[in-house]
Amino acid sequence: MKRRIHALPGNQALAEDLARHGGWPWTTVQVRRFPDEESLVTVTPPEKGEEAVLVCTLDRPDPKLLPLLLAAGTLRELGAARVVLVAPYLAYLRQDARFHPGEAVAAGIFGRLLDGLFDAVLTVDPHLHRLRTLAEAGLSRGRVVHVAADLAAWIAAHVAHPLILGPDAESAQWVHEVAARIDAPGAVASKVRHGDRAVTVTLPDLSAWRGRTPVLLDDIIASGHTMAEAARALRAAGWPTPICVAVHGVLAEGALDLLRSADVARVVTTDSIAQHTARIRLAGALATALDA
């Protein structure tokens, strides 16, 4: 099937990289704001029998959603054989339960919305914490691309004698896979979350691995408090400044300053979100997944 990549604004670098890996044409979806703040969305019309792949990572999702919805609907109206979304970061998965009466369980509502718009949704290592699968979040057409191999390759190439340390129980899945791939020790701390910007992290016994360089590994850096608290605990225990590696650099305002103040040596993320920290490129893994 013929395929064309359509980048939503802000996603051109990843779209171009993806198109180059797959040998597909790519184009940008034009989004113009009217004075009344409505959006005028213009797509490149699909050729007959063509699959349209929209690239739109979904951090800071709310202003992105209407243009994405309009682009998907337009490509379908204009005859795309399939409309696929590549959203390396998928928003709202952390809101996966009704923690207080009346709260939206956004994960399910958001998942069902995407499920109705797209024939397939590809995402990278989604934050499945209390939910175990994307289908449980209403996204039955969701497909997960795991990138532990890409994280492991970066660490192996840039850190001598690493100790891979996860800051909380949920990070264990990445820690153990990455550690095994590069034949390094892996350990997992425990975390208690007290609020949006308040966590405490308790280290396990790491004494067997003194002399190694600690690499803190997690799926998301959002406010930065999880990584910062883990880094502070390491420093307090006499370890050298750690390197922080994460799949998704959401990096809320102030996160990098917080990490600097916690004496982190370096922050490295994938380009699932276009940040200055993005050193691990995912286009190869995404192109392979699109073809699978």
Ligand X SMILES: O=P(O)(O)OC[C@H]1O[C@H](OP(=O)(O)OP(=O)(O)O)[C@H](O)[C@@H]1O
Give catalytic residue positions: 191
Q: Which stretch binds ligand X (CB under 6 A): 23-31, 45-53, 214-222, 231-239?
A: 214-222
Q: Can you tell me which of 152, 203, 221, 231 binds ligand X, judged by CB under 6 A?
A: 221
Residue 22 token pair: 């797959």
Please name the helix (run of DSSP H) or strand (run of DSSP E) that holds residue 238, with its range, or none: none
- Return d(Cα 70, Cα 117) in angstroms, integer: 10
Least distance from ligand X to the Cβ atom of residue 253, Å = 12
Residue closer to ligand X by CB (options 28, 223) is 223
Least distance from ligand X to the Cβ atom of residue 229, Å = 8
Residue closer to ligand X by CB (options 94, 161) is 94
Q: Can you tell me which of 147, 219, 249, 272 binds ligand X, judged by CB under 6 A?
A: 219
Q: Can you tell me which of 20, 129, 143, 235 binds ligand X, judged by CB under 6 A?
A: 129
Contact residues for 178 (Cβ-Cβ < 8 A; gap 6+): 148, 151, 152, 155, 164, 184, 186, 217
Least distance from ligand X to the Cβ atom of residue 14, Å = 22
- Return d(Cα 67, Cα 90) in angstroms, integer: 16
Instruction: Please give the size of the binding site for ligand X, defined by CB under 6 A.
Output: 17
Contact residues for 289 (Cβ-Cβ < 8 A; gap 6+): 122, 143, 145
- Return d(Cα 291, Cα 289) in angstroms, integer: 5
59 binds ligand X (CB under 6 A): no
Residue closer to ligand X by CB (options 129, 158) is 129
- Return d(Cα 97, Cα 100) in angstroms, integer: 9
Q: Which stretch binds ligand X (CB under 6 A): 43-51, 64-72, 216-224, 277-285?
A: 216-224
Q: In the window 83-102, what residues touch ligand X (CB under 6 A)?
A: 94
Q: Can you tell me which of 16, 119, 136, 170 binds ligand X, judged by CB under 6 A?
A: 170
Residue closer to ligand X by CB (options 50, 125) is 125
Q: Which stretch binds ligand X (CB under 6 A): 13-21, 22-30, 74-82, 163-171?
A: 163-171
Residue 184 token pair: 């390094």
Q: Can you tell me which of 59, 168, 201, 281 binds ligand X, judged by CB under 6 A?
A: 168
Q: Can you tell me which of 84, 122, 184, 222 binds ligand X, judged by CB under 6 A?
A: 222
- Return d(Cα 245, Cα 265) in angstroms, integer: 11
What is the residue type of 27? Answer: T
What is the residue type of 289? Answer: A
248 binds ligand X (CB under 6 A): no
CB 178 within 8 A of CB 147: no
Residue closer to ligand X by CB (options 162, 166) is 166
Least distance from ligand X to the Cβ atom of residue 272, Å = 14
What is the residue type of 155? Answer: I
Instruction: Please give the C-alpha separations between residue 269 and each of 91, 174, 250, 281, 286, in angstroms, as whole numbers.
Output: 17, 14, 9, 9, 16
Residue closer to ligand X by CB (options 64, 225) is 225
Burial of 197 (0-12, 13-18, 19+ CB in 10 A): middle
Query: Rule CB under 6 A: which residues touch ligand X?
Result: 94, 127, 129, 167-168, 170, 193, 199, 218-226
